[in-house]
Structure 1
Amino acid sequence: MRKTTKSLIAVTCAAAAFAAAGCGTTSENSGQVQNQDPTKNCKGPNEKYTIGMSQANLAEPYRVRMDDDIRKAAAKVPQFDVQFSDAAKDNSKQISDVENFLTKQVDLLMISPNEAAPLTDVVKKAYNKGIPVVVLDRKVDGEAFTTYVGADNVQIGRQAGEYFKNTLLPDGGKIVQIKGLSGSTPAAERDQGFKDGIQGSKIEIAATADGEWERSVGQQKMDALLKANPDIKAVYAQNDPMAEGAYLAAQAAGRNDLKFVGIDGLPIPSGGIKAVEDGRLQATNLYPTGGAEAVEAAKKLLIDCQPVPKTQTLETELVTKDNAADVYARLNQG
């Protein structure tokens, strides 16, 4: 009896171990990042491909432009069918959106994550399934993606900081910073870069608020910042809509003396470049959407059967009154 019992226990344990292995200690559910052949889904130019694009939100003009740039570029690739989802700033919804794309068995996933940490696991799940993943603008944690397309946010922040130090406030002074959504990688990186850029100057960041990347929130936060910090000279906002919101709050408070700098530089009538031309902002910093580059990466992976770089860094540029009209015209060519 003892021998039989031991045998049954051994068989049960072996079966449990086999089941555990089958459940995926080496599958997409594993905490480990699997080796991926990024061109595995490539079937050449004679096939059709479905791409899922998971957008963080469509409240920001920048994200609307990103989707538009993807549509425009994908329209030139007849093999591509791009399906879009809007997470509306909700991490749980974005996770569900990605899961839905996986259920549809998309050939490639594009994603601009709302926040890094909450979206990391579901992106890793897609990647470990062998689906190529193109991450745009905002990052996820770790290396479970095929390629990241975006500008260097630390560099952009540094560029803005150096403009403050060398041109806008060479004699120093107090300023306030309006950051983007906490938990999104550009917010932390643009803050770090800006502080690097103003190092050695007499510029003091008197206060910082989270404007959630939105104009209306930036306006509300600026109203409170002004009341608490009446002696500030300028505003560094981590995107143009928040800078415009801060400008409106300052106008309402009768503070026509303040200077404003943003980031994005969208080449649209309501974008940051025109705001610089019109004098509401003293400068903006170009932050390309990466939409066209993301589609080109998808084409290489799915149609051309070519690998792509792990990181694709897009070029930025400082836009001031001196070059705003030229930059706007150049970016709208074609």
Structure 2
Amino acid sequence: MSGILRGGAVLAGLALVSAVTACGTTHENAPGAASGAAPAAKQCHGPSGKYKIGMSQANLAEPYRVRMDDDIRKAAAGVPQFSVSYADAAQDNAKQVEQVNTFLTQGIDLLIISPNEATPLTGVVKKAYDQGIPVLVLDRKVDGDGYTSFIGADNVDIGRQAGKFFAEKLLPHGGKVVELKGLAGSTPAKERSDGFNEGITDRNITVVGSADADWLRDKGQQQADALLKAHPDAQAMFSENDPMAEGARIAAQNAGRADLPIVGIDGLPVPEGGIKAVEAGRLSATFIYPTGGKEAVAAAKKLLIDCQTVPKTQTLPTRLVTRENAAQVYAELNRS
């Protein structure tokens, strides 16, 4: 629509806006929507419909991502109208683009995606969105706002809280820290690091070395080994997820630094997860990072079955886990 409508064209324009709103997507928030450039979305068929959902996962090498898919499966099992297909990009941007394109060819009704990296996946996410397919982005962001809803925790805030934990509990008098970062092109890696630096500002704490370990345990061990050799005076380590932190613990033990404080993020409530690692004393702390799986299915239900809208951003809560509350938090999360 051009912005100046007359006669019957006004009614046609109103009908188009009604169709978009009734479907329950949030295309009205997209760039250009004010001038009517946003595409019409697919129709919501309500409880009598059957819906195909494509779940595009960045990789399944991280326990967090396995748990995310499991959470989606569990929640979707309670919605008989849904059938979900899963794809594992194995940390390959081109493969993930191809897998999303395959979903589009198969005629999915909604896309859930946790992008491997932001910029390479932005185009195909926007392509789906522009075709009127609701797109739910989990955990890792894409560039721009060509999607229906982002669901995830505030990674800057988590990093900031981690920095404050170092400043207030681990190194109250200041000190030297080394940092294990995630995959460089993924938004949580940058946001957690930025937040951490905010949290230690003016606290006489210095990050003397950092390395990318791509969220993986084995690479975390390798990079931590190199960091500790290069900076033997480091007094603590910040790891941007728990698997890298567990790898770093092995490296610290091998370096004769078994007492090195290490803090991670994820806090999965499973026997091999970060909460139990804190309870056992391998990690000094972790932060709960919800997968968003059940929230994504709830959003899909609102969009496809209830014909409602969902917020453009759904921020999930986090929580600090220390040895003092680890058992309690683990029990609470497994009751929910």
What SS is found at the alignment partner of 1:156?
helix
2:143 aligns with 141
Q: Compared with structure 1, are the counterparts of its residues 324 and 99 closer, same or farther at alpha carbon in structure 2 (3 Å cutoff)?
A: same
What SS is found at the alignment partner of 1:257?
coil
1:324 aligns with 326
CA shift at 1:303, angstroms? 0.1
Instruction: Note if contact 2:32-2:38 (Cα within 8 Å) is conserved in structure 1.
Output: no
What code does the residue aligned with 2:130 have? Answer: N
Match for residue 227 of structure 1 among 216, 226, 229: 229
Q: 2: distance between equivalents of 1:165 and 1:287?
A: 21
Instruction: Note if contact 2:181-2:189 (Cα within 8 Å) is conserved in structure 1.
Output: yes
1:9 aligns with none
Instruction: Note if contact 1:151-1:288 (Cα within 8 Å) is conserved in structure 2.
Output: yes
Match for residue 98 of structure 2 among 76, 79, 96: 96
1:264 aligns with 266
2:14 aligns with none
CA shift at 1:41, angstroms? 3.2
Give the total of aligned pairs. Answer: 303
Instruction: Note if contact 1:50-1:80 (Cα within 8 Å) is conserved in structure 2.
Output: yes
What do residues 277-305 of structure 1 show as CA deviations (whole Å, max 9, x unaligned)?
00000000010000000000000000000
* 1:1-334 matched pairs, under 5 angstroms: 35-36=38-39, 40-334=42-336
What code does the residue aligned with 1:35 have? Answer: A
What do residues 181-220 of structure 1 show as CA deviations (whole Å, max 9, x unaligned)?
0010000000010000111111110001001000000000
CA shift at 1:177, angstroms? 0.4
**TM-score normalised to the size of structure 2?**
0.89
Moved more, 89-98 or 255-264: 255-264
Q: 1: distance between equivalents of 2:278 and 2:205?
A: 22
Instruction: Note if contact 1:41-1:107 (Cα within 8 Å) is conserved in structure 2.
Output: no
CA shift at 1:306, angstroms? 0.1
What SS is found at the alignment partner of 1:264?
coil
1:26 aligns with none
Q: 1: distance between equivalents of 2:152 and 2:39?
A: 22
Structure 1 residue runs of 5 or longer lacking an equivalent are 1-30
Q: 2: distance between equivalents of 1:291 and 1:232?
A: 37
Q: Rg: which structure is higher?
A: 1
What code does the residue aligned with 1:119 have? Answer: L
Q: 2: distance between equivalents of 1:186 and 1:158?
A: 13
CA shift at 1:162, angstroms? 0.4
CA shift at 1:257, angstroms? 2.8
Q: 2: distance between equivalents of 1:168 and 1:41?
A: 54
Query: Alignment RMSD, CA only?
Result: 1.2
**TM-score normalised to the size of structure 1?**
0.89
Q: State the identity as a percent.
A: 66
What code does the residue aligned with 1:130 have? Answer: G
Give the ranges of 4+ consecutive aligned residues of structure 1 lying more than 3 Å apart after TM superposition. Answer: 31-34
